[in-house]
Every structure is written in C-alpha cells, then in structure tokens.
Structure 1
Amino acid sequence: MDHIKKQDGYFSEKLIILPDNIISECAMHPLIRPLYISDIGFFPRLISHYHERPTGSEAHIVIYCITGEGWVRLNGQKKQIMHKGSIMVIPAHMPHEYASSKTNPWTIYWFHMKGENASTFFEGIDQYATPTHITVEKSTTFIELFNECYDLLEKGYSLNRIIYVSQLACHLAALIRFSQQQPHIKLNHKKKHDIEHSLQFMTEHLETNISLQELADRADLSVPHFSLLFRKTTGYSPIDYYLRLKIQLACQHLDLTEQSVKEISIRLGFNDPYYFSRTFKKIMGKSPTDYRNTRKG
C-alpha cells in the first residue's frame, strides 16, 4: 500500500494520472506499447513531502530535482541524497521511499513510465542505483519535454495525444539513459571531468592530430584509466573514436566539396593519403572515391 504525506493545494503544483481504463485501451497500440507515461507531475518546493511504497510500483519512477534537496531510499538501503540537477530512476517493483528536505525542500519533475521497453531503457538500474547529474543543456530539454507531455495530456486523453506523448516518453528515457552512461570522474574537490569534454576537444581538433597522452593529460587521468573510462562510455578506444570523427568529417568534405581525396586527407591531418584511404575503407566499408560516387539524398 502506498503511503504519502504532503501539504494540500500547493500553488503551481501539477499532477495528471491517466485513468486505468484509458491506459488499458491504449497500452496495446503498437506505437504506445513500447513505452508510455501513466503519471506525470511537478511539485514546487514541496514541504513535508514523503512517499513510501513497501512493495514498489508497477512503473519505473523518474524523479528530477531542479532546486532544493531530498532523498531516495531503495529496498531499505542507504539514503541517496538528491540535489539540484540530479535525476534518479526507481526501478519498477523496487520497495522504496523518498522525501523532500525539511529545511531546503525540493522542486521536482516526475514521471511514471511503463511499457515493453521500459526495463531496456533503464537496464542496469538496481537496488544500488544512485542519482545522476544532468547537464544544463539536457535539463532544458527535459523540462521542455515535460511541458509538452503535460500540455498534451491536460487537453484530453485522445489516442493521438497519447501516441504523441508515448514518443516523447522515448525521448525522455533516451535522455536519461544517455546521462546515466556518462560517468563523471572527480579530479579534485572543485573540478569534474566527463567524457563529453574530451569529445568536444576532439571535434575542435579534427584538422590537426592529438595524442592519447594529450587527451589523458587534459582529463588529469593516467592513460590506462582514461582509456578504460572512454571505452566504457563510447564503446571505442580514444584514438579509434578520434579517427572515426575524422572520417565522419571527411565524408562531409567528399559530399559537399570538390576537393580531391588527397587534399581532404592532408586537411584532416593524414600525411599519408594511402593510410587515409585504408582507414576510410575500414570504417565506411568502401573507398573515399566509391563513397563519393555513391548516390545520396
């Protein structure tokens, strides 16, 4: 049985819970079945907010804190503190409780998500899950998606609206998954580094050459530690990924300019055009010339 405590009628609070009969009618639609939102809400500076579900929820519960503080406890484990900018997913059927800080109450956006693909989107989340920080840019996207979902549902539960919200839910889940798989490494008490910084540096230096040691130094990590973190995040070694970015840019030059293959290879820091062509074919499956001659668009 759910137990919830919060003050009544808080100004600007938003809350929509889709009726069970509506969900039952729509949940089997092929465009809704993979992932859909059953509950959605926004609670601003909610004092005395406490919720307990001893047997968990049928849905995955997403909580995003934009101001203040609160905590989440999963399966009786240690409390996980949530601060501004942190997001957490409570797995379906996981016993849990959460509450707002009494001295610095949180403001939260939240969703309940269900569907065939819900567990796949949030795979790897277990009883030891911890809050994840999302960037300012991702935060803006998250809030925009929330508002669009809420505005659509507020105007009625037609099938077309629920289909649209279901697709927005996929975007939201993908954003959360992406943020959770971007590990943050503490460099010292004041600074943090994540792989996005390295990727940005790579994209800004595609017409030169950077070494693995330089990338690791910028992250203030050893080469083995940096390489392990990078591969865990992207699935590729740092230099392999860097070469793929170069080839990706080479494709744009081949598509949009009249530059020769040799000119493009030199422009992108390949001193040996033959090495460039071999690398291009290994990544793209065809030579630069064959790629250029392939009809596109």
Structure 2
Amino acid sequence: MLKKADGFNSEKIIVLPHYQLNEIVDHPIISQLYITDIGYYPRATNHFRERPDGCDSYIFIYCASGQGWIEIDKQERFSVMEQSFAFIPADTPHAYGADENNPWSIYWFHLKGSQVAELMESYGPYDGPLQLALSDAEKILELFHQCYDLLSSKAYSAAHQIHISHTMRYMLSFIGLIPRRKQEEKTLAYIEQAILYMQERLEMNLTLESLVAYTNISKQHLNHLFKQATGSAPIDYYLRLKMQRACQLLDLTDKSIKEISLSVGLSDPYYFSRLFKKIIGASPSEYRSKLKG
C-alpha cells in the first residue's frame, strides 16, 4: 500500500522550534515534562511511521475512530482500536500505521523531560493500548485541546508553558489511574454481589463457604476484599446486616424479641440479645424504648 507520514485533510500539527525547546530545557519547572510535537490526523488513510532507532521522546496516541496498529521493537504488535490510548517509550524502535480498510483518526503528542520516564514507569508494566470509557475519552480530548490551543497562541509564554506541562502531567496521571479504577470497580462488583446475597438470606445462617461458592472466588480473596471495602470479615458483616434488620423490626413492628431473633435466623434469643448489644451498643429492649426521628 501507499505509505505516508502526514499530509491529511484537516490535519492539525504544531512542532516547537529549536529555540523554544532550548529555552524549555533550561527552565527548572517546564524541563521536567514538556510537549515537543502535537497534532491531529483525521481519517489518516495510508498513515505510516517507522523509526528503526526509536525516537528521543515518548509518543502518545489516542485513536478517536477507526483502527490502526503499533509495533514495538519488532517483537510486540498491538491493534489500536477506536477510543483507545497507546504510547511508545522513548529510544525504542517502532512502527505504526492506520488500518487499510478503516484508517484511524488520531490525536497525538510527543513528550520529553526529566520526569516523563519515571512518571510512566510508576504506572507499572505496559500491556498495550488502554480501552477508554466515553467519559474518560472526553476528558482526555478536553485536556488535549487545552494544550493545543495554548501552544497555538501562547507557546512563547513561560507561564502558559508551565500550565501546559502541568495539564499534560494531570492527563497522564488521570490515564494511569484508569486500570486501577477498573480493578476497583471489579472488586466493588464482587462485594455488592455478596452483600445482596446476604441481604436476601438474613433469615438463614450463611457460612463463609457458601459465600465463596456463590461469588466463585477464593476464601482468602473474599476475606481480603471485604476487609478492604467494609473493614469487616464477610460473616461479621453478615451479622451486622442481621442486626440492622432487627433494628428495623424493633422500630416498625410489635414482634417480641424472640420472634425478631427467629426472623434473623438466630434461634437463641439470649445469644441474639448479646450480639445485638455488642454491635448496636444497647440491648434490644433499650433500643426499642428510645424515641426515633
């Protein structure tokens, strides 16, 4: 196929001149992280780049639509899909290009600076392009346009270059947290699934083994997730839910202590009363006697 590096309809591109880069390198704040090149290639048919010796800057690519690919050091080849973000480390041989049938539209920028490598390494090993949610993609484009617009009109201003540097730092830190947030959402899903299972069975006596079987994760992992999210072990949390239900029954019904005890799966009302006082801080009768609301 025909291969070209640039020259696309409606493209945008800014490359900082050498005299500005020389000034930036001497600046104590901006030199930590700064843009050297930035641009947008819409529907970049036949787009192709190959750098056998790598590039002296980090390259970041956000694929807004279409598809493309990135090859790192002739060993790893990644597909870059719509709404995904990828980067290429500095000084690493690489090639990348648009898909022949569905060429990508990409927002891209190059970063240099004394802290770029350290910042990127802090997010852990790179496993390939990161698929973004729509809200995350919109945030990244908002930050991109802020930087592009400032470089278009105020690249000469050190104050604005500092702002651009911090905006890019924020963008990278925002992107770096996305995988962690996804893991947290997955963890939260396990917890919510288990808690719903508990709430629907408060009249029973669930065991840790039954929760493990339901959530399909190991006992150790379930314990870890629960303590991390709620501060309690799973069964301790289950007992707290039982006492919460008992409080509702004490407030809203005329049931006896024994009847409420049975309603939450505890056949021994004395054990129920001791457990209730331990968790709630008052006996069932003391709790019922207090005015509410």
Answer yes or no: same fold by TM over 0.5.
Answer: yes
Distance in 1 of aligned mates of 2:44 and 2:209 = 48
TM-aligned CA distance change 1:37 to 1:244, over 3 Å: farther
Distance in 2 of aligned mates of 1:198 and 1:148 = 34
TM-aligned CA distance change 1:114 to 1:199, over 3 Å: farther
Q: Residue 264 of structure 2 corresponds to which residue in structure 1?
A: none
Q: 1:243 aligned to 2:230?
A: yes
Q: Residue 74 of structure 1 corresponds to which residue in structure 2?
A: 72
Is the Cα contact below 8 Å between 2:70 and 2:78 reproduced in 1?
yes
Distance in 1 of aligned mates of 2:221 and 2:54 = 38
Rg bigger for which structure? 2
Q: Residue 172 of structure 1 corresponds to which residue in structure 2?
A: 171
Q: 1:113 aligned to 2:100?
A: no
Q: Residue 289 of structure 2 corresponds to which residue in structure 1?
A: none
1:88 to 83, 86, 93: 86
SS in 2 for 1:5: coil
Equivalences for residues 148-227 of structure 1 within 5 A: 148-157=146-155, 158-181=157-180, 194-199=183-188, 222-223=217-218
Distance in 2 of aligned mates of 1:196 and 1:126 = 19
Give 4+ residue runs of structure 1 displaced > 4 Å after superposition.
Answer: 124-129, 180-183, 200-206, 209-218, 224-227
SS in 2 for 1:145: helix
**Cα deviation, residue 26, structure 1:** 1.9
Is the Cα contact below 8 Å between 1:75 and 1:127 reproduced in 2?
no
> Structure 1 length normalisation: TM-score?
0.65
Amino acid at match of 1:272: I
**Cα deviation, residue 127, structure 1:** 9.7
Distance in 2 of aligned mates of 1:214 and 1:141 = 42
1:103 to 82, 101, 104: 101
TM-aligned CA distance change 1:111 to 1:7, over 3 Å: closer
1:146 to 144, 147, 154: 144
Is the Cα contact below 8 Å between 2:58 and 2:87 reproduced in 1?
yes
TM-aligned CA distance change 1:150 to 1:240, over 3 Å: same
Is the Cα contact below 8 Å between 1:133 and 1:179 reproduced in 2?
no
Q: Residue 271 of structure 2 corresponds to which residue in structure 1?
A: none
Q: How far does the alpha carbon of each residue in 1:147-167 deviate from its partner, in whole angstroms, 9 at most, with x for none?
A: 100011000311111111001
**Cα deviation, residue 202, structure 1:** 6.1
Distance in 2 of aligned mates of 1:217 and 1:43 = 51
TM-aligned CA distance change 1:168 to 1:238, over 3 Å: same
Distance in 2 of aligned mates of 1:93 and 1:155 = 30
**Cα deviation, residue 119, structure 1:** 1.1
1:42 to 40, 43, 66: 40
Over the aligned positions, Cα root-mean-square deviation in angstroms equals: 3.9
**Cα deviation, residue 12, structure 1:** 2.3
**Cα deviation, residue 126, structure 1:** 9.7
**Cα deviation, residue 24, structure 1:** 1.8
1:272 to 279, 289, 292: 279
Higher helix share: 2
Equivalences for residues 252-271 of structure 1 within 5 A: none
Distance in 1 of aligned mates of 2:14 and 2:109 = 10
Q: Residue 132 of structure 2 corresponds to which residue in structure 1?
A: 134
Is the Cα contact below 8 Å between 2:67 and 2:82 reproduced in 1?
yes
Q: In structure 2, list runs of 5 or more residues that go unmatched.
A: 200-205, 233-246, 248-276, 282-293
Query: Number of residue pairs matched?
Result: 230
**Cα deviation, residue 216, structure 1:** 7.9
Distance in 1 of aligned mates of 2:211 and 2:42 = 41
